């Protein structure tokens, strides 16, 4: 028996269509994951840039105190989104390089910034100990992906 021309169509079978849909779904999901990942990285980079600018400004404030060199000391504070465009905390660690006394001619200055991102994840060595949204540094630690460190000499 011969098959008529009517049954020999050049259309795709159901299995071929399902395979094509599965491949297309994998490609589209990969593109969406890449897009979402780039948006998360963009948000992190924006926050990092703001944090780095704040750290540089804090370091500049320390440089402006150089005429009161003996008064330069460690300090810390809070960052708020409405003032600093970032919810977080800053910390300045000051150590004498050439001895432990006040007559040291050189000080090492480290400014570190930690912040909370959009998803509530804390970047840096800070914590929200009482749940009020205000970050504080973990005692004994001041590591952060955003830190500036330099040494300054007495004038």
Q: Which H, E and C letters describe 23-55, residue by residue?
A: HHHHHHHHHHHHHHHHHHHHHHHHHHHHHHHHH
Q: What is the pLDDT of residue 8?
A: 59
Q: Would 113 be classed as within a structural domain?
A: yes
> Among residues 66, 127, 126, 122, which one has the least CA distance to residue 94?
66
Residue scoring higher pLDDT (66 or 62): 62
Range of the domain at 20: 13-153
Q: Would 146 be classed as within a structural domain?
A: yes
Q: Would 1 be classed as within a structural domain?
A: no
Q: State pLDDT tens for residues 16-29.
A: 999 999 999 999 99
Angle at alpha carbon of residue 27, lines to 34 and 119, rounded to 5°: 30
Listed range (44-58, 72-86, 130-144) with the worst mean pLDDT: 130-144
Count of structural domains, the chain: 1
Quote the pTM value. Answer: 0.73
Q: Would 4 be classed as within a structural domain?
A: no
Q: In the numeric block, which tokens belong to residue 27?
A: 């490609």
Q: Would 8 be classed as within a structural domain?
A: no
Q: Express the helix, strand and coil content of the chain in percent, nearest 5 each.
A: 40, 25, 35
Q: Would 117 be classed as within a structural domain?
A: yes
């Amino acid at each position: 028996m011969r098959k008529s021309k009517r049954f020999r169509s050049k259309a795709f079978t159901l299995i071929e269509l399902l395979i094509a849909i599965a491949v297309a779904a994998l490609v589209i999901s990969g593109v969406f994951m890449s897009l979402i990942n780039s948006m998360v990285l963009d948000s992190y980079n924006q926050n990092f840039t703001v944090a780095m600018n704040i750290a540089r400004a804090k370091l500049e404030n320390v440089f402006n105190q150089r005429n009161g060199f003996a008064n330069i000391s460690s300090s810390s504070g809070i960052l708020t989104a409405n003032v600093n465009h970032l919810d977080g905390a800053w910390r300045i660690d000051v150590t004498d390089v050439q001895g432990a006394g006040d007559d040291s001619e050189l000080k090492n200055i480290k400014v570190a910034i930690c912040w909370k991102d959009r998803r509530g994840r804390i970047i840096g060595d800070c914590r929200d100990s009482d749940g009020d949204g205000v970050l504080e540094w973990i005692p004994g630690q001041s590591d952060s992906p955003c830190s500036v460190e330099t040494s300054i000499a007495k004038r």
